[in-house]
């Protein structure tokens, strides 16, 4: 079967980010296929371990995509500090006879090295235009876990598991393979904390992840990390602030020093994002919609809010606020230019990961989270119908039906962007709601 259809049938989505359906990236030809192995979020340890444990699978998944889109080169972007993994990858590329096609390029240990547009620039020196996608400059980007899932899809195996790092102020840090749909509570229980009353959980990385209101909820294909910190930790306090509070403080205290803009990774790529101007529009109630529109160029990396601002304000949150307002009014940023050049100061303004980690109070927890085998014995799994960008999947099973692990249970609606979902366990469909297919774990006879 055609690779794109295999990927589509297997329900592969971007494992590291917003969950864009991968098959939809394979509709055009491109010059490069890039593997995003930067894993720049502090404390997360998934991609670096997958590349070490499954190099052949990841290399094969990546090169299959490259050949399909007729890319002339496949490049693996990984931080230079992962020397052992780099050596393994280079050895396996040679052993697989792919040295003329797949190359490993070493990235600096800066944040956000894994931002898609930063990665494209670092690996190809091309700049994705404002409000555009890598394809515009001849690149398709996939993440390491996505490449692994593509390899499995080529053998007809759908996505039923994801890899998650459990990290933070906890006794046992680890990375685990988890069936999709397992309760989050069952995953974080592995960390050795008995009483969660004093803890808060960040879903995702410490920079871009958000604080969960509770530990209810279920693992999805794009779950990547749970970072547990005490409730009084700086990050939890800062991330828990409501947008209304952030707005009041930001309005009162912004001195227009423009540090948020000067260190913004998208600004440094030559884009017109200038968060200090968005702060100005907020402070002075400026109705200048044009100035607010630049908020749409923000990738929400959080550098401005957690690192740059000397008085601890919330430019990212204000960007998000303006983005919402503009979306409500149907206003879309229209780029004035199509060619961009990185700003000359960029080289001196990259943020070393170690400094960032120290600034956000995580140095004490910046430790290995080794891959650990854990058997999850949850009674039920909740498979979300929408784990991806696009339309929710449409159930193709009924209550009471027996299903087996890997069986299709939700299909892409006709003529829509979406992703199929599959059962991650053997069992019986217990309930179907607007959001989930609930499966009671059992046997399949
Ligand atoms: S860094 Fe802080 S104080 Fe300076 S302009 Fe940006 S938001 Fe205002
Ligand atoms: S979050 Fe801040 S630093 Fe990051 S892209 Fe947006 S404005 Fe720039």
Pocket test for ligand 2, best of 303, 317, 322, 333 (most atoms within 8 A of CB): 303
Residue 229 pLDDT level (bands cut at 50, 70, 90) = very high
32-74 pLDDT, tens digit per residue, is 999 999 999 999 999 999 999 999 999 999 999 999 999 999 9
| Region of poorest pLDDT, from 14-28, 128-142, 164-178 | 14-28
Q: Which residues line ligand 2 (CB under 6 A)?
A: 264, 266, 273, 275, 298-304, 315-316, 319
Question: What distance in angstroms lies between residue 216's CA and the mean position of ligand 2's atoms?
Answer: 30
SS3 track for the chain:
CCHHHHHHHCCCECCCCCCCEHHHHHHCCCCEEEEEECCCCCCCCHHHHHHHHCHHHHHHHHHHHHHHCCCCEEEEEEECCCHHHHHHHHHHHHHCCCCCCEEEEEECCEECCCCHHHHHHHHHCCCCCCCCCHHHHCEEEEEHHHHHHHHHHHCCCCCCEEEEEEEECCCCCEEEEEECCCEHHHHHHHHCCCCCCCEEEEECCCCCCEECCCCCCECCCCCCEEEEEECCCHHHHHHHCCHHHHHHHHHHHCCCCCHHHHCCHHHHCCCCCCHHHHHHHHHCCCCCHHHHHHHHHCCCCCHHHHHHCCCCCCHHHHHHHHHHHHHHCCCCCCCCCCCCCCCCCHHHCCEEHHHHHHHCCCHHHCCCCCECCCCCCCCEEEEECCCCCCECCEECCCCCCEECCCCEEEECCCCCCECCEECCCCEEEEEECCCEEEEEECCCC
pLDDT at 292: 83
Q: Is the pTM of this model over 0.85?
A: yes
CATH assignment of 380-441, among 1.10.101, 1.10.3470, 2.40.50, 1.10.10 = 2.40.50
| Region of poorest pLDDT, from 8-22, 87-101, 301-315, 359-373 | 8-22
Residue 282 pLDDT level (bands cut at 50, 70, 90) = confident
Q: Is the pLDDT of residue 431 over 70?
A: yes
Pocket test for ligand 2, best of 315, 323, 349, 356 (most atoms within 8 A of CB): 315
- For ligand 1, say whether the CB of 254 is within 6 Å of any of its atoms: yes
Determine which residue's CA is closest to atom 4 belonging to ligand 2: 301
Mean pLDDT of the chain: 94
Give me the CATH code for the 161-233 domain, please. Answer: 3.10.20.600
Pocket test for ligand 1, best of 247, 248, 258 (most atoms within 8 A of CB): 258
Mean pLDDT to the nearest integer, 212-227: 92
Q: Is the pLDDT of residue 183 over 70?
A: yes
pLDDT at 445: 62
Residue 290 pLDDT level (bands cut at 50, 70, 90) = low
The ligand 2 atom nearest the CA atom of 301: 4
pLDDT at 443: 73
Residue 273 pLDDT level (bands cut at 50, 70, 90) = very high
Q: Is the pLDDT of residue 4 over 80?
A: yes
Q: Is the pLDDT of residue 8 over 80?
A: yes
Residue 444 pLDDT level (bands cut at 50, 70, 90) = low
Q: Is the pLDDT of residue 115 over 80?
A: yes
Question: What distance in angstroms lies between residue 340's CA and the mean position of ligand 2's atoms?
Answer: 18
Which comes out higher in pLDDT, residue 253 or 378? 378
143-163 pLDDT, tens digit per residue, is 999 999 999 999 999 999 999
The ligand 2 atom nearest the CA atom of 308: 3
- For ligand 1, say whether the CB of 303 is within 6 Å of any of its atoms: no
- For ligand 1, say whether the CB of 264 is within 6 Å of any of its atoms: no
| Region of poorest pLDDT, from 332-336, 347-351, 417-421 | 332-336
Domain chopping of the chain, boundaries: 3-154, 161-233, 243-350, 380-441
* Same-fold call for 161-233 versus 380-441: no
Check if CATH label 3.40.50.11540 holds for domain 3-154: yes
């Amino acid at each position: 079967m055609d690779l794109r259809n295999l990927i589509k049938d297997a329900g592969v989505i971007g494992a590291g980010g917003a969950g864009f359906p991968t098959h939809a990236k394979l509709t055009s030809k491109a010059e490069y296929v890039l593997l995003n192995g930067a894993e720049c979020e502090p404390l997360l340890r998934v991609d670096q371990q997958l590349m070490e444990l499954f190099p052949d699978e990841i290399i094969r998944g990546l090169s299959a995509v490259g050949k399909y889109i007729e890319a002339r080169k496949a490049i693996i972007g990984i931080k230079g500090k992962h020397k052992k993994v780099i050596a393994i990858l280079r050895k396996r590329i040679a052993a697989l006879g792919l040295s003329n096609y797949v190359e490993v390029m070493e990235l600096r240990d800066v944040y956000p090295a894994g931002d898609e547009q930063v990665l494209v620039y670092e690996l190809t020196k091309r700049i994705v235009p404002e409000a555009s996608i890598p394809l515009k400059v001849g690149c398709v980007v996939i993440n390491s876990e996505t490449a692994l899932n593509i390899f499995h899809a080529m053998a007809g195996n759908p996505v039923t598991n994801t890899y998650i790092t459990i990290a933070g102020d906890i006794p046992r840090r680890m990375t685990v393979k988890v069936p999709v749909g397992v309760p989050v509570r069952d995953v974080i229980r592995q960390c050795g904390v008995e009483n969660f009353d004093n803890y808060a959980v960040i879903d995702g990385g410490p920079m871009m992840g958000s604080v969960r209101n509770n530990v209810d909820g279920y693992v999805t294909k794009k779950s990547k990390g749970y970072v547990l910190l005490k409730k009084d930790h700086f990050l939890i306090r800062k991330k828990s602030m409501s947008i209304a509070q952030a707005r009041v403080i930001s309005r009162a205290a912004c001195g227009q020093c423009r540090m948020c803009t000067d260190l913004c990774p998208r600004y440094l790529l030559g884009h017109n994002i200038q968060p200090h101007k968005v702060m100005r529009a907020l402070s002075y109630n400026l109705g200048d919609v044009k100035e607010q529109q630049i908020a749409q160029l923000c990738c929400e990396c959080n550098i401005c809010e957690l690192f740059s601002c000397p008085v601890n304000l919330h430019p990212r949150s204000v960007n998000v606020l303006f983005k919402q307002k503009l979306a409500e009014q149907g206003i879309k940023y229209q780029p004035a230019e199509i060619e961009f050049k990185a700003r000359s100061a960029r080289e001196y303004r990259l943020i070393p990961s170690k400094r960032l980690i120290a600034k956000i109070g995580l140095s004490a927890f910046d430790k290995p989270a080794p891959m650990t085998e854990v058997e999850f014995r949850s009674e039920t799994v909740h498979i979300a119908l929408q784990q991806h960008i696009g339309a929710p999947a449409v159930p193709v099973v009924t209550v009471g039906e027996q299903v087996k692990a890997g069986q299709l249970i939700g299909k892409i609606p006709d003529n829509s962007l979406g992703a199929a979902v599959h059962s991650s366990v053997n069992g019986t469909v217990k309930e179907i709601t607007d959001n989930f297919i609930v499966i009671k774990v059992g046997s399949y006879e």
